Structure 1
Amino acid sequence: MNADTITAASAVVIALGALAVSIVQTRATMVHNRQSVRPLLQLRRVREYDGPEAGLKITNSGLGPAVITKCVVVLDGRAIGPWDRKTVRSITDGLPEWPHINTLTEGAILSAGYRSYLIHLDFYDRKKHEWFWDLIAKRLEIAVYYQSIYGDEEYLATIRPHSA
């Protein structure tokens, strides 16, 4: 082996090493970019102690938008459909008072920082609206399936009834 062969072989090894480092760095950057726009949906029941509102709130606490892929509503242990107008009407028909509703349809996009009630009363009174709290705390279960803008993962936010 002469000096030219050793120099050429060393250059090939260094080039392959640089290529390997570049591939690893590119993959790490892709993972970081996905995580930096990951949505995080949360469902929670809210009863304002210092204010008049009460309801079921959805919040995107993540850094990126959430794309809704599916929503499943269970009432009294029985699946009744997605959180759309028809399903919500079947829940609210016959209630003493109509609560305010926001539906979640497939393909809806909830931006980072989004927060809104899915169902709520503006002027909640504990005695007068006990039926409403019973509905959202003991009878209603909602599962929201969603993805990030990359679209190849499936996340789930759910809220279940309190135990009796």
Structure 2
Amino acid sequence: MKPTTRGTLAAVVTGVAVAVAVGAGATPAAATGTVPVPVPLDGVEKSLHMEMPKLGMELPLLIPGVPEAPRYVEGRLIPEHALPQVPMNGVLPGADLRLPLPHALGPGFDHVGVDLPASDLRTLTPGLALDAPLTAPDPQHYGMPQLKMPEVGVLGPVLQTVVGGDLGAGPGK
């Protein structure tokens, strides 16, 4: 088979795979904001002949936003927000745990489950605001700037989220 034929065939197979994935409703991890991480314990369960806990996690993908541009303010030599705060959007990690408890809570209750879904997270990184120890050029002093006290300020980080969870007990798998 010629190299051009192989390349064409590879491109067609890749296109078909993408079309099938889109048709099946598969979404890339970047679109959801989390990456599911199942913890496979099936081998341990089969080798020990006993029911093992079911554990799954969701790890976040942080997406940096666009920082606010520095603003020039009249009377200041250095722009406001010299080191701007950068917004970061993502999610807090989630977890899903299901433990077998053979009738510890009475008949009909053989499992305890904890579900902590991934929750949206919005943050702003710390920033810095400062001003030089000189004023703007003063026309009353022949265009020479005046001395003044330097100004330095730290803009604190911001964290916004709402966390939820669910704890339950019930029967069977």
* TM-score interval for Structure 1 and Structure 2 normalised by the shorter chain: under 0.3
Alignment TM-score, normalising by the size of structure 1 = 0.24
Rg larger in structure: 2
Higher helix share: 1
TM-score (norm 2): 0.23
